[in-house]
């Protein structure tokens, strides 16, 4: 009798197992087709980038080098000029070596114009060390202040 009971219990457990996988088979999938679908990472802190202010449509880096001084890994390479007729400097070169950046965020805290932030980029892998140096001014194109226009 106990054998029969064990057989029936075993059969039932097999059916329960099939039921579980069968239920999951008709449920929606939980994976993303990665290169085509990307997860929402807007809250994630990726490589440092410059903020675009909506009032001016551009960044507000004054090339004060505060970030470069506080950076524990010496990632920054910043140069700037003072456009004629303006009090503030404008950055002409803003390189960030991401291969040594530890994303500590000290530069973001120290920035006097709040123009640094964490980006939401995450697929910045590269085959050469030189390619990990990000030109943070690149997305902004020609600087309107340096071109003589004041937005």
Partner 1 sequence: MSALHALLARLIGDFGATLVLGAGTILGYLTFNVLFLIWLERKVSAHAQRRLGPMEVGFHGSLQTVADMLKLLSKQLVTPLATDHFTFLFAPILIFIPTICLTSLVPLGDARAFAEMPNGLVVVVVLSGITVIAIFMAGWSSNNKYAVLGGMRSVAQVVAYEIPVLLSALSVVLIAQTLDLHEIVSGQHVPYALYEPIAALIFFIGITAETNRAPFDIPEAESELVGGFHTEYTGMRFALFFFAEYTNMLVLGAVGATLFLGGWKGPLAGRWPFLGPVYLLLKAYLVVFLMMWARWTFPRLRFDQLMNFAWKLLIPVALVNLLVTAIVLEALPLR
DSSP output for 28-97: PP----TTTS----TTS--SEEEPPPTTTSS-------HHHHH-TT--EEEEEEPPTT-SS-EEEEEEEE
Smallest distance, partner 1 to C-beta of residue 80, A: 47
Quote the CA–CA distance of 120 and 5 in Å, as a whole number.
Answer: 58
Number of residues that bind partner 1 (CB under 8 A): 16
Residues between 16 and 75 with contacts to partner 1, criterion CB under 8 A: 17-18, 20-22, 24-31, 33
Decide whether 25 or 128 has the Cβ nearer to partner 1: 25
Decide whether 14 or 147 has the Cβ nearer to partner 1: 14
Smallest distance, partner 1 to C-beta of residue 36, A: 9
**Is residue 68 exposed (0-12), middle (13-18) or buried (19+ Cβ within 10 Å)?**
middle
Decide whether 13 or 150 has the Cβ nearer to partner 1: 13
Q: Where on the chain is the footprint of partner 1 (CB under 8 A)? A: 7, 14, 17-18, 20-22, 24-31, 33
């Amino acid at each position: 009798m106990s054998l029969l009971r064990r057989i029936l219990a075993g059969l039932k457990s097999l059916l329960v197992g099939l039921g579980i996988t069968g239920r999951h088979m008709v449920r929606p999938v939980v994976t993303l087709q990665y290169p085509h679908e990307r997860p929402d990472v807007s809250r994630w802190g990726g490589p440092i980038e410059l903020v675009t202010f909506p009032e001016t449509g551009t960044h507000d880096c004054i090339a004060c080098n505060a970030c470069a001084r506080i950076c524990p890994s010496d990632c920054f390479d910043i140069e700037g000029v003072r456009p004629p007729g303006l009090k503030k400097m404008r950055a002409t070169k803003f390189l960030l070596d991401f291969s040594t950046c530890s994303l500590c965020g000290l530069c973001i805290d120290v920035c006097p114009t709040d123009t640094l932030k964490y980006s939401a980029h995450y697929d910045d892998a590269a085959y050469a060390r030189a390619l990990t140096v990000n030109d943070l001014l690149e997305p902004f194109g020609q600087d309107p202040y340096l071109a003589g226009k004041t937005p």
